[in-house]
Amino acid sequence: MSRTFQIVQWDCVGLLGATLCYGATWLSVWYNSLTTRFRERNPHINPPPNPEARNSNTKIMTWLFRILGAFLFLSAFVALLGIRHPR
């Protein structure tokens, strides 16, 4: 039972990694709009970014989501290779 649970667990991690790689652009746009709305409501904490900074933030977050997704996918792949079959 524990081997089956490990396989399902690592499959879910790999699926999360693939989803992060595939939806990185959408997630970065969503994250940028979320933080911009927060900054507009609370300018005393951090002023809202200008349009150039928004584009830069979106590109940076896209790459960070892709790197995180690739790391999760590859770590799940390596972990699944390491799960031994019972003899």
Residue boundaries of the structural domains of the chain: 15-82
Alpha carbons 49 and 36: distance in angstroms, whole number = 7
**pTM: predicted TM-score of the whole model, two decimal places:** 0.83
pLDDT at 4: 86
Alpha carbons 40 and 32: distance in angstroms, whole number = 12
pLDDT at 85: 67
Alpha carbons 53 and 77: distance in angstroms, whole number = 36
Q: What's the first-to-final CA gap in the chain, in angstroms?
A: 15
Could you read off the pLDDT tens digit of each residue along the chain, which spans 87 residues? 588 888 899 999 999 999 999 999 999 999 999 998 998 898 888 888 888 888 999 999 999 999 999 999 999 999 888 887 666
What angle, rounded to 10 degrees, do the helices at 24-41 and 2-22 form?
70
pLDDT at 6: 87
pLDDT at 87: 61
pLDDT at 46: 83
pLDDT at 29: 94
